[in-house]
Structure 1
Amino acid sequence: MSFLSCVWRQPRRLPLPSILCALVSAPSMAQSTGPSAETELSTVEVVGRSETGTYHADEVAGAKTDMPLRELPQSVRVVTRQAMDDLGATKLNDVLDYVSGVTRMNNFGGLWDNIAIRGLPGHENTGMSTLVNGFSANRGYNAPRDLAGVERIEFLKGTAAALYGSSEPGGTLNVVSKRPLWQAANTVEAYAGSFGRMRSSLDSTGPIGENFAYRLNVAVENADGFRDYVSSERRVLAPAFTWRLGRDAALEYAGEFVRQATPLDRGVVAVGNRLGAIPRTRFLGEPADGDVTIENQRHQFILSNEWSSGWRSRLGLSYLDTSLSGLNSQASGAVRADGSLSRQLYLRDYNSHDTALQAELQGNVRIGTVENELLFGLESFRFTMDSLALSANPTAAQPYAINIYHPVYGQPRPRLGPNTDNVERQRNTAFYVQDAIKLAADWRLIVGVRADNYRQSLMNYRTGKLAQQEPTSTSPRAGLSWLPSPEWTVYANAGRSFRPNVGSDIAGIAFSPETSRALELGTKWESIDRRLGATAALFDITKRNVLTADPLNTGYSVAAGEVRSRGIEMDFSGQLTRHWRLSANLMLDDVEITRDNTLQVGGRLLNAPKVIGSVLALYEDGLANGQRYGIGGGVTHVGERLGQARTRAEANAGTPAFELPSYTTAKLVGYWRYSPTLRFTLDIDNLFDTTYYPSSYSRVWVTPGTPRSLTLGLQAKF
């Protein structure tokens, strides 16, 4: 407990899970069956920046099936390690533009990731369902995802509730960790860039004896940032090991320790509906507030066993501990005519503990001529989130305002008072089953269902109210694929999903969970050599029981809203020729509110563009002396988006909506491999120094995009 917790809160019992390890079922490891994976691992070069040319993937761990990706009746986009390296990506945010249908949402002043797929956001803070190796990764307070220990990122489009339970119908993101190799390899990397950015990293792997292999990824980053008074530091430690327990059994571990410290920066403000009234560098908080610090600790173990040639099991446990603490001053209210902007002062102390257990049995059964790949799974988790915050709101006597045109910092801090003091507890036990069926040579069928039994409570220690509910949900899905040729697939799928709503109405009755229905029709193409692939999909999604304002009781909500997303998306990626590789995507999406008590019915959702797309191309060749080079670039376009939720009253009055303007940005990438062990890179982002705004929450919380930035890198293998 921090000083804030001890001073302000009355004593009460809190769960303090203490877990040294356990057995974590990580789908990143799901296709491995322990020692039998040695041969495959020893031939894959994934240490340091690679030149494998792999943009297109032909399998996906998050689907929990051995069915090739082309045959899977679902749209999936995999961002490979090669794509991350070509982009010079070090954070999840760096790859989002190159996946169709992914948009940025409110990210709490840059303190965590928050994205939406197909325009449908999840929780207003933590966003859609995000997984790390198949386990929930965004319950609690998680720093922006660093890619130092990441092998690939899987964007599973559409509903995944039949496998993972509570999730968004637009899609689910699964981050796959790097795994140990059975041959020694090491790389060190160093980067220096604009705005004082310095980063160094280490990736080391290899065997220790005949039955044990390790991997260690370390990253250290510091940056001054382009925003005034907003610097940051990040530390990442990601150890992993594989321990062969016998001929058919193995224990695998993937851990991560992250610490990030940076001011909570709510961005710039709009004057009326006009952006650009102040420089994109201007900070409207208080430099003396210091950093908000996020610390994450994750442990995942998996015990796998291959019982026979057709059956295998996995047993695992995951533990995630998160915390967020610090002081910040943030905008509150509209900008006045004289340029003054009222602010709130917040002191936060948030903590969470998340323990999850998975047990799976997977095997193949032939019934007549029909081949079945069966999966039986049991999952249970226990999650506790402890939120304590003090705040000071502006008053006439102590306005605590700042002039946006002529800011003066160092004002006396107003006195803090109680704001938030609650503990949320979630308990869930679920059973799921999936059957991936080979009906015939050219037909595939996947059917699955998951039953969840939740117990949820929210204790508000300020009011003394306890809201409890025990929602249950059954989430089915079915998908059918037709393979008319070795290259083409036509597929369709349908599924349902849910997500529990936190809190209660004015009567103290817990909100009903959000429920969703998703339909998808698409086609896939994959070249015979599996180096190129494309997917095009049509989707229609409806989400109900969205929280909306209670029309009879100001300040309260009811679960009565409804939203809908309809559109088309296209992805293409792979090695075009010996010299060229390409990644391209496009989405046209119509996301609208179809029912709400206060928001404009027929209006769009926050931060959801109608058009978004990008292209990335890289040319590579060798020199006569054996050296090698690559040069390429990318272009991203994002259409107009709603920048603040628009009420029905504003629409009826003809008040113009606040919209973020569309933007197009470009980047250049290049490398020179001086020798097999030494390589230099150059990345230039926002090449034409475009002023743009990737997301916002309101007119006074608008995130400005980074100006032109240059990064030089050196990678050395030994």
Structure 2
Amino acid sequence: MLRPVLPALSALVALGFSSQSIAAPVQQDLPDRPSATSPAQSGSDSANPAPGAVALEGLSINADYGIAGQATTESSGSYTTGSMNTATKLPLSIRETPQSVSVITRQRMDDQGMNDLNDVVKYAPGVTLHRTASDRQEFLARGFKIDNIMYDGLPSSISAYTQDVISGADLAMYDRVEVVRGATGLMTGAGSPAATLNLVRKHPTAVPQVSVTTSAGSWDRYRTEVDASNKLNDSGTVRGRVVAAYEDDKSFSDIRKNQRQTFYGILEADLNDSTTWTVGASKQRDDNTSDWGGLPSGPNGEDLHLKRSTFLSNDWSYWNKDNIMFFTDVTHRFDNGWSAKLAGQKIWAEADTFSSYIGNYDGLGFQQYHGKYRDDDDQTNLDASLTGPFQMFGREHELVVGVSHRQEKFHQWGGWTDGTPIDLYNPTHSLPKPDVDTSLYETRNAATEEGVYAAARLNPIDPLHVILGGRVSWYDYDNRVGDGDYKVVREVTPYAGVIYDLNETYSAYASYTEIFKPQTETDSSRSVLKPMTGKNYEIGLKGEYFDGALNASVALFEMEQENRAYQEQNQSAATCPGFPATSCYAAAGKVRSRGIDTELSGALTPDWQVSASYTYVLSQFVEDGIKSNEGKLFAPEQPKHLFKAATSYTLPGELHKWRVGADVLAQSKTFNRVGDGQADQDAYGIVGLMAGYKLNEHWDGRVNVNNLFDKRYWQGIPKESGTGVYGDPRNLMFSVKWTL
């Protein structure tokens, strides 16, 4: 498993010590970035580079990119960030963070025309978007499902039910999305070891800022965004921002369509020179004509060769969603460099569904079933923290300590109908709307988690940095319509990382992180199984060029999840009370995921942004109740090899108003086991192109071509008792932006 990465590691280390290294120490007093028509930017003055520039085989690169330590990506024009705190809550650069971390910046979102979180996951390094229906999806990484999403650092839970409501977040209100791959128990508490996505909201500006963006594209897709920000008093101590977006989309899929309305407002007030209060709210409403399930495979995974446009629900189907958020925080900065922050967030998410799905459950052929459900999901998050420097043994270090409270109340009820035979190749789309008894099913539960956490960045000698931390969690699950209540008391989640600066450009690191995930299955004594434990081991090398404007990393990781529930074999009423109505489980399952994570992101020149990543993952059963599973892939729907890249280049000289870009997504073969066979997706690659033209300082136009070669591929492979969805065919999107 190590062989593919050794040449990359060797090359990166060699660069760090080579006299030909492209990165020299960057001075802080460099001249300002040249204008769009300057010789340095156009490349015509490469023989005599300006002070602070780096000559790379005749190409002059100015090193003053101006993002060192800067977290906000809006208006930076960059594909990377200077600071992020999703992994440890300490404000660290990507190089200083001892985990695989990435960022999708505002500039990258705009260049690729990303509109919601699904687009981010599709293009972000090391993560995979897996659709199970037109408006149902899973986020995957390193062999596991992602079940934590953060908003401004406050975690929210997503599950099989709430994923569809919470994860379709419109990007109009966000500055960037930070991604931490691997276990994140220090910051999130309970969850899977896959990854965590942190959506960071836009904040008000003290100068006037107004933009209007309109887009139109294939299949009658239309979108408009309005974004306005300014100070609200003469002194600028009160600032405000509003963002609104409206989207009206049809689809390559027959019948399906979506209307989305998004509103976001935020106020920021300096109560005094040391204290800032922020308060805001957002509302997103989606009205969808949508299916409940996608397109099926045959009983044993056979490709049924359905048209990509096939829609197997009805024209009266709907899947409507409401997501309201309220958030606030108060930050106080002390004179000694410390700061205190109290933050809170409330989420009210609802889904109202009446739609159809396809099944072949009785072996008599495919039938259309109807279901009508209502979901209510309320989440509350509170967090209080202290962050600052301290002195020990004559050196300065950093510390963060905090407490958190997180609660989710979930309620779902509804019902379904018997199946009606359907012709998959000639669906009617207009069956009469049936009567559905919505009292057939109900689940109601509440999960409460409280935690105390701390992390310290110790600097014992100049090149060595040690991050030590941990979290103690209390978890309480209350099943309000039946049995299954349980508690987890004083669950300890450690965090450890070591970073050694090899020189002023490169650092080597190693880290160990954990996370726990409660489970509801019971054993033969009817006791709830103890939580699963996820462990993440990682070693790597990171490089930082041009004052942080370009970041590179390569990592080896190994992850294990232990205590996984598996159903006991050869059960009977004597060995499992309540059998066959209920089954008994054992917490003895174990899976392992190993791989390589590499990434390059940021500016190669002031006019050339790039993001490229390659991920290799091998995920296998180590211990399982079915011995024949051991050694097999446990997540075959996730690719072993995943490559993603995107780039944007502003042309030099007289063509400086033009910019061009491209993106590539390529992955190896994947499959899902179905019946006695499997549904397959062969290796594939899709290509996108972008071209933009800046007419003047106010007007800018852009066109995006997606899936240029019209590749037919599954974005969610059909699985046992389930369905999948094809990826979008070739399509165009035109956008025009006016800026004040």
Identity across the alignment (%): 22
CA-CA distance at 1:600 after TM superposition: 2.8
Contact between 1:111 and 1:143, CA under 8 Å: does it hold in 2?
A: no
Contact between 2:269 and 2:277, CA under 8 Å: does it hold in 1?
A: yes
- Tell me the equivalent position of 1:617: 647
Q: Aligned partner of 2:139: which letter?
A: I
For residues 569-598 of structure 1, the C-alpha deviation after alignment (integer angstroms, 9 at most, x for no partner) is 100012112442221110111012223335
TM-score (norm 1): 0.86
- Tell me the equivalent position of 1:519: 537
- Tell me the equivalent position of 1:635: 664
Which residue, out of 365, 370, 382, partners 2:395?
Answer: 370
Name the SS of the counterpart of 2:193 in structure 1: coil
Q: Aligned partner of 1:145: which letter?
A: A
Tell me how far apart the structure 2 counterparts of residues 68 and 409 of structure 1 sit (CA, whole Å).
52
* Equivalence map 1:270-419=2 (5 Å): 270-271=297-298, 272-275=300-303, 277-288=305-316, 290-333=317-360, 340-394=365-419, 400-412=420-432, 416-417=436-437, 418-419=439-440
- Tell me the equivalent position of 2:128: 103
Name the SS of the counterpart of 1:96 in structure 2: helix
Contact between 2:370 and 2:418, CA under 8 Å: does it hold in 1?
A: yes
Alpha-carbon spacing, 1:680–1:335, altered in 2? closer, same or farther (3 Å): farther
Alpha-carbon spacing, 1:412–1:547, altered in 2? closer, same or farther (3 Å): farther
- Tell me the equivalent position of 1:132: 151
Which residue, out of 709, 714, 717, partners 2:731?
Answer: 709
Name the SS of the counterpart of 1:83 in structure 2: helix
380-389 vs 212-221, which moves further? 380-389
Contact between 1:112 and 1:143, CA under 8 Å: does it hold in 2?
A: no
Contact between 2:588 and 2:624, CA under 8 Å: does it hold in 1?
A: yes
Name the SS of the counterpart of 1:698 in structure 2: coil
Alpha-carbon spacing, 1:567–1:602, altered in 2? closer, same or farther (3 Å): same
Q: Aligned partner of 2:436: which letter?
A: L
Alpha-carbon spacing, 1:103–1:523, altered in 2? closer, same or farther (3 Å): same
Tell me how far apart the structure 1 counterparts of residues 618 and 648 of structure 2 sit (CA, whole Å).
32
Alpha-carbon spacing, 1:106–1:46, altered in 2? closer, same or farther (3 Å): closer
Tell me how far apart the structure 2 counterparts of residues 666 and 486 of structure 1 sit (CA, whole Å).
36
For residues 500-527 of structure 1, the C-alpha deviation after alignment (integer angstroms, 9 at most, x for no partner) is 2246568653342221111000000111
- Tell me the equivalent position of 1:584: 612
- Tell me the equivalent position of 1:193: 217
- Tell me the equivalent position of 1:486: 504
Alpha-carbon spacing, 1:466–1:616, altered in 2? closer, same or farther (3 Å): closer
132-141 vs 384-393, which moves further? 132-141
Q: Which runs of 5+ in 1 are unaligned?
A: 1-38, 122-126, 395-399
For residues 286-305 of structure 1, the C-alpha deviation after alignment (integer angstroms, 9 at most, x for no partner) is 222x2111111111111010
Tell me how far apart the structure 2 counterparts of residues 189 and 46 of structure 1 sit (CA, whole Å).
19
For residues 519-576 of structure 1, the C-alpha deviation after alignment (integer angstroms, 9 at most, x for no partner) is 0000001114322111111000000233333432566463443221100010001211
Tell me how far apart the structure 2 counterparts of residues 511 and 191 of structure 1 sit (CA, whole Å).
51
Contact between 1:456 and 1:468, CA under 8 Å: does it hold in 2?
A: yes
Tell me how far apart the structure 2 counterparts of residues 471 and 194 of structure 1 sit (CA, whole Å).
53
Contact between 2:291 and 2:311, CA under 8 Å: does it hold in 1?
A: no
Contact between 2:293 and 2:356, CA under 8 Å: does it hold in 1?
A: no
Alpha-carbon spacing, 1:466–1:515, altered in 2? closer, same or farther (3 Å): closer
Alpha-carbon spacing, 1:321–1:237, altered in 2? closer, same or farther (3 Å): same
Name the SS of the counterpart of 2:109 in structure 1: helix
Which residue, out of 257, 260, 277, partners 1:231?
Answer: 257
Alpha-carbon spacing, 1:242–1:498, altered in 2? closer, same or farther (3 Å): same
Q: Aligned partner of 2:338: which letter?
A: W
CA-CA distance at 1:276 after TM superposition: 5.1
Alpha-carbon spacing, 1:503–1:206, altered in 2? closer, same or farther (3 Å): farther
Name the SS of the counterpart of 2:630 in structure 1: coil
Alpha-carbon spacing, 1:223–1:486, altered in 2? closer, same or farther (3 Å): same
- Tell me the equivalent position of 1:428: 449
Contact between 1:71 and 1:483, CA under 8 Å: does it hold in 2?
A: no
* Equivalence map 1:493-508=2 (5 Å): 493-502=511-520, 504=522
Tell me how far apart the structure 1 counterparts of residues 67 and 616 of structure 2 sit (CA, whole Å).
39
Q: Which runs of 5+ in 2 are unaligned?
A: 1-65, 572-578
CA-CA distance at 1:415 after TM superposition: 5.4
For residues 642-678 of structure 1, the C-alpha deviation after alignment (integer angstroms, 9 at most, x for no partner) is 224x6xxx7xxxx443322221100001110000000
Name the SS of the counterpart of 1:573 in structure 2: strand
Contact between 1:118 and 1:565, CA under 8 Å: does it hold in 2?
A: yes
Which residue, out of 181, 186, 205, partners 1:162?
Answer: 186
Q: Aligned partner of 1:220: which letter?
A: Y
Contact between 2:540 and 2:554, CA under 8 Å: does it hold in 1?
A: yes
Tell me how far apart the structure 1 counterparts of residues 310 and 732 of structure 2 sit (CA, whole Å).
21
Contact between 1:305 and 1:313, CA under 8 Å: does it hold in 2?
A: yes
Q: Aligned partner of 1:188: which letter?
A: V
- Tell me the equivalent position of 2:549: 531
Contact between 1:312 and 1:361, CA under 8 Å: does it hold in 2?
A: yes
Tell me how far apart the structure 1 counterparts of residues 238 and 321 of structure 2 sit (CA, whole Å).
33
CA-CA distance at 1:467 after TM superposition: 3.1
402-411 vs 699-708, which moves further? 402-411
- Tell me the equivalent position of 1:118: 142
Tell me how far apart the structure 2 counterparts of residues 71 and 578 of structure 1 sit (CA, whole Å).
23
Name the SS of the counterpart of 2:283 in structure 1: strand
CA-CA distance at 1:354 after TM superposition: 1.1
Contact between 1:691 and 1:705, CA under 8 Å: does it hold in 2?
A: yes
Tell me how far apart the structure 2 counterparts of residues 594 and 710 of structure 1 sit (CA, whole Å).
45
Tell me how far apart the structure 2 counterparts of residues 673 and 561 of structure 1 sit (CA, whole Å).
57
629-638 vs 575-584, which moves further? 575-584
CA-CA distance at 1:627 after TM superposition: 6.2
Which residue, out of 713, 727, 732, partners 1:692?
Answer: 713
Contact between 2:73 and 2:176, CA under 8 Å: does it hold in 1?
A: no
Which residue, out of 267, 277, 280, partners 1:251?
Answer: 277
Q: Aligned partner of 1:58: which letter?
A: G
Contact between 1:106 and 1:697, CA under 8 Å: does it hold in 2?
A: no
Q: Aligned partner of 1:216: which letter?
A: V
Which residue, out of 169, 177, 183, partners 1:153?
Answer: 177
Tell me how far apart the structure 2 counterparts of residues 65 and 411 of structure 1 sit (CA, whole Å).
56
470-479 vs 497-506, which moves further? 497-506
Are 1:450 and 2:471 matched, yes or no? yes
Q: Aligned partner of 2:428: which letter?
A: V
Alpha-carbon spacing, 1:58–1:138, altered in 2? closer, same or farther (3 Å): same
Are 1:173 and 2:194 matched, yes or no? no
RMSD of aligned residue pairs (Cα, Å): 2.5
- Tell me the equivalent position of 2:559: 541
Name the SS of the counterpart of 2:688 in structure 1: strand
Contact between 1:639 and 1:663, CA under 8 Å: does it hold in 2?
A: yes
Contact between 2:602 and 2:611, CA under 8 Å: does it hold in 1?
A: yes
Are 1:595 and 2:617 matched, yes or no? no
215-224 vs 571-580, which moves further? 571-580
Q: Aligned partner of 1:185: which letter?
A: Q
